[in-house]
Amino acid sequence: MASRRAQVLIGCGVLALACTKTTSTPTPVQGPPATVTSTVPGQQPGAPVPNRRIPPSRDSLAKLRANYVAQIMQQIAGHENDPAEQVFKNVQVLKGITAAQLVHTMDKQYGAALSWNCTNCHRLANQGNWASDTSADKKRARFMQQMMNEINTVQLPKLYPRDTPAVTCATCHRGYNEPPNADYLIPERGKPGGLPLPPGRGGPPRGPGH
Ligand code: HEC
Ligand code: HEC
């Protein structure tokens, strides 16, 4: 996978730098992968990484995914509200939701959280095969879903037995296939580009000044 390769390359670059610190020929240190910097509005993109393809915009990805969603919804017409694990062939984790909810999760969570098209995980989608597990990324995503279920149903309830909050794919990924590191904090709440001030837990939304 291109992004992982780039990450490994950068990792090696840093390592090489560490190993050759005393020599006079520093290894050029490249900026973070183009996918990370180029899509952050208002930020200076880092030095472009050679051979990295700028990914399609989120809008075009959303349109590409919408086509696949429409295809699947047509195929499962009449069974939208049946359990996902009955309608589809290879559902191992996302059980207990309807078929329509699974497809919606794929689009609005998996796809949107990573800024991916369906085919990033479903390599054989264009042959009509959505069940295949040939993609390592599909398997990673399934692992992530299990990890998230563990966080949401086992861990967080220990800390918040009532009004248990939940993480989603986007909580970590924020539109990137590799979650941005701590150098990329989103702007403060209530500041330009930041989120509005948070609603009070369990109460009506709090406005500014409260
Ligand atoms: C990040 C990876 C990822 C992306 C992107 C993704 N999927 Fe999935 N998809 C999965 C995983 C993982 C499963 C299996 C879930 C499970 O085992 O519970 C799955 C299962 C499915 C299934 C059930 C297939 C079967 O027969 O078992 C369908 C249909 C599906 N996805 C459609 C889509 C569509 C449509 C999109 C785009 C809107 C999409 N997926 C995007 C990872 C992904
Ligand atoms: C608690 C934080 C967290 C949550 C929640 C989370 N992820 Fe991840 N995910 C990560 C981290 C960290 C990585 C490793 C990224 C890297 O390679 O640097 C990762 C990697 C991945 C990868 C491999 C990407 C790559 O390029 O190597 C996929 C696919 C993925 N996550 C899908 C999902 C999906 C789908 C969900 C929701 C079901 C999800 N993740 C929820 C933190 C999270």
CATH number for the domain harbouring residue 113: 1.10.468.10
Residues 19 and 109 placed together within one structural domain of the fold? no
Distance from CA of residue 144 to its chain's centroid? 10
Q: Which ligand neighbours the alpha carbon of 90 most closely?
A: 1
Asked whether residue 64 is domain-assigned, the answer is no
Please give the average per-residue pLDDT across 72-82, as a whole number.
98
Asked whether residue 67 is domain-assigned, the answer is no
Using a pLDDT cut of 90, give the percent of the chain over it.
67
Q: Each residue of 22-40: pLDDT tens digit?
A: 334 444 444 444 444 444 4
3-state secondary structure of 52: coil
pLDDT score of 157 more than 50: yes
- The pTM for the full model equals 0.79
CA-based nearest residue to 7, from 182, 177, 137: 177
Residues 117 and 35 placed together within one structural domain of the fold? no
Q: Each residue of 123-151: pLDDT tens digit?
A: 999 999 999 999 999 999 999 999 999 99
Kindly report the protein residue whose alpha carbon is nearest to atom 41 of ligand 2.
169
Residues 172 and 105 placed together within one structural domain of the fold? yes
Q: What is the pLDDT of residue 152?
A: 98
How many angstroms is it from 68 CA to the middle of ligand 1?
11
Kindly report the protein residue whose alpha carbon is nearest to atom 5 of ligand 2.
169
Q: What is the pLDDT of residue 19?
A: 38
Asked whether residue 124 is domain-assigned, the answer is yes
Residues 2 and 93 placed together within one structural domain of the fold? no
Asked whether residue 203 is domain-assigned, the answer is no
Contact 33, 50 (CB under 8 A): no
DSSP state of 57: P
CA distance 175 to 205: 26
Q: Count Cβ neighbours within 10 Å for each residue of 154-169 and write b for 16 or more, e otherwise.
A: eeeeeeeeeeeeeeeb
Asked whether residue 184 is domain-assigned, the answer is yes
Q: Each residue of 107-130: pLDDT tens digit?
A: 999 999 999 999 999 999 999 999
Is 139 a pocket residue for ligand 2 (Cβ < 6 Å)? no
Give me the number of domains the chain comprises.
2
Is residue 46 very low, low, confident or very high in pLDDT (cuts 50, 70, 90)?
Answer: low
Residues 50 and 113 placed together within one structural domain of the fold? no
Q: What is the mean pLDDT of the chain?
A: 82
How many angstroms is it from 169 CA to the middle of ligand 2?
7
Residues 78 and 157 placed together within one structural domain of the fold? yes
Terminal Cα distance for the chain, rounded: 48
Q: What is the pLDDT of residue 204?
A: 61
Residues 116 and 153 placed together within one structural domain of the fold? yes
Residues 50 and 81 placed together within one structural domain of the fold? no
Which structural domain, as residue segments, surrounds residue 50?
Answer: 1-55
Residues 78 and 181 placed together within one structural domain of the fold? yes
Q: How crowded is the C-beta side of 187, counted as CA atoms within 13 Å?
A: 11
Ligand 1 atom, smallest distance to 92 CA: 17
Asked whether residue 5 is domain-assigned, the answer is yes
Residues 173 and 83 placed together within one structural domain of the fold? yes
Residues 86 and 160 placed together within one structural domain of the fold? yes
**To test the ligand 2 pocket, which listed residue (104, 119, 135, 144) has its Cβ within 8 A of the most ligand atoms?**
144
Residues 51 and 123 placed together within one structural domain of the fold? no
- List of residues 6+ apart from 84 with CB closer than 8 A: 91, 94, 95, 97, 98, 99, 101, 102
Is 179 a pocket residue for ligand 2 (Cβ < 6 Å)? yes
How many angstroms is it from 19 CA to the middle of ligand 1?
42
Asked whether residue 93 is domain-assigned, the answer is yes
Please give the average per-residue pLDDT across 2-18, as a whole number.
43
Dump strand ranges (E) for 36-178.
Answer: none
